Each structure stands twice: as C-alpha cells, then as structure tokens.
Amino acid sequence: MKKELTVIKLGGSLLTDKSKPYTPRKSVIESTAREIKVCLDDGLIESLVIVHGVGSFGHPPVLEHKLHMGFKDPKQLLPLSKTQHIVNEFRLMLTEAFHKVGLPVNLLHPSSMIVAEKMKFAKVSFEPLKGWLSIGTIPLLGGDVLYDSVMGFSIGSGDILAVELANQLEAKRLIFAMDVAGIYDDNPQTNPDASLICDIDIHDIARVLEGMQQLGRLDASGAMKGKLASVSTAMGLIEEGLETTLLSMMDYGNLIALLKGQEIDCTRIISR
C-alpha cells in the first residue's frame, strides 16, 4: 500500500535568527530534528520530504548582490557562487543535525531539478527525488537560486517548492513550521493583543492577502505574506483534501501533538 506522504517546510525564521546574518538557531534545529524522528518512529508520519528555508544564510547575500533581480552582469557570478557555497554550508549543518538523530536524509538541490521562467517553475523533474523517497531516504531540499530561462537566474522559494512537491507527490499533509504559531490578525511581535486565526478558508486567502497589503497587518515578518501567497497556489489540492497547517516548532512537542490530533495553537488552511 502507498505510504501517506507528509511534506514539511521548516521556515528560515525557525531555523535561523533572521535578525543576524549567518546565525543558525542550533537548539531549535536539534529539537526539530528530534521531534521529526519521534513522529517517524511512532508512525505519525509514514513518508516524508523535508523542505527548508535558508533564512539568514541566503537572504543577506542575495540582497547584497541583488541576485533577486536576476542576471544583469557577469560580476554577479562570483557572489552567486559564494552565496550558493554559504547556503550549502547551512544545508550541511541541517544534514548533520538529522544524522545525529538517525534520520537518513538525502540532500538534493532544486537548481538541478527545476528550470524557472520569470520566477515561476517552468520545468520540473522530481523523478530522482521520487526514487530516493521510494527506497526510504528522506529528501531534504530548500530554497535555491534557479536557472531562469528569462532572467538568467531567479530565487526559488522553499514555500513554493513545498506546494509543488505536495502537488506532484500527492501528499496527504503539508506543514509549514515557523517561529510563530500561525497567521495572526495583527503583528504578534509588536501587538501583544494580536490573536491567532485558527482556520482560514482557502477561498478567503486573496482577501486576507489584500488586507495585509492595505493595512500592513497580519504580516508578522514580511515573509508571512509570501508564505500565504504560496499556500494560495495550493487551492485545488486543499479542496481535494490536502491537510495544510502552519504551526510553530520553536518548542518541542507541537508537531507530535498536531499529528496525534490534539488541540494546539496553529492556523489550518481549510476548504469549506
């Protein structure tokens, strides 16, 4: 029988301190790896793909060298290569944390599987990834700089990648693990009275996104809006039953509780 697949996106804001360039959150990385191991050992997750954000390892050099604008000048190529290098160091750091708890992750690079066209995925080949998954390794892959047939190169976000994987691999669950409990009605970092929105109907996401634009509200980190915009591309999947949840993994236990069906603070994206 086909195993039920979970795609989990570990956000860059969870895994790194985004306020300090090149700063991993080592204890959070360790506890996240431990918790995922328990979920697999206890059968709460049958089959798994892990997508990671690059947080303070990727965004600072990308912005510094304007790599998000695409290929403009050969002078960008060395900084591009150095950015890939430092992000790869972060990928290895994550790999080691998963190895320490005994998880056979298989580090893969989206830039070797995807051709983008104006920042959208145009051609995708997940065949090797599917093969690695089928024999029991856990594909680990994250945000990357992609070859772009129009822009030369462009940034491929891990959030979009997670949705694409959930789609192509017919996942049962899509989980976004973050440093906050979900989507709030105001910025929880500046407004202690902000309340968590427990359910968002996928058909209301456009309205929620518009609210973020007009009011600057609901957007805890700037990245949250992009995340929700990525989730909105999963509308068809969510209508068909993809269980989509945003939760915090800053403390150990939330993921286990969610998968056991316990009540936790989180935002579920549902289809009424």
The site map against ligand IP8 for 64-93 (x = CB under 6 A) is -----------------------x------
Binding test (CB under 6 A) with ligand IP8, winner from 106, 157, 244, 267: 157
Task: Decide: is 94 part of the binding site for ligand IP8 (CB under 6 A).
Answer: no
Q: Which stretch binds ligand IP8 (CB under 6 A): 141-149, 213-221, 230-238, 263-271?
A: 141-149
Binding test (CB under 6 A) with ligand IP8, winner from 143, 180, 183, 242: 143
Query: Which DSSP string do the residues of the chain spell out, in sequence order?
Result: -PPPEEEEEE-HHHHB-TTSTT-B-HHHHHHHHHHHHHHHHTTS-SEEEEEE--HHHHHHHHHHTTGGG----GGGHHHHHHHHHHHHHHHHHHHHHHHHTT--EEE--GGGTEEEETTEEEEE--HHHHHHHHTT-EEEEE-EEEEETTTEEEEE-HHHHHHHHHHHTT-SEEEEEESSSS-BSS-TTT-TT--B--EEEGGGHHHHHHHHHHH--S-SSSHHHHHHHHHHTTHHHHHTT-EEEEEE-SSTTHHHHHHTT---S-EEEE--
Report the residue number whose CB is nearest to ligand IP8. Answer: 143
Q: Which is nearer to ligand IP8, 39 or 162 (CB)?
A: 162
Q: Which is nearer to ligand IP8, 14 or 181 (CB)?
A: 14
Task: Decide: is 24 part of the binding site for ligand IP8 (CB under 6 A).
Answer: no
* Residues that bind ligand IP8 in the complex, under the rule CB under 6 A: 12, 53-54, 58-59, 62, 87, 143-145, 155, 157-159
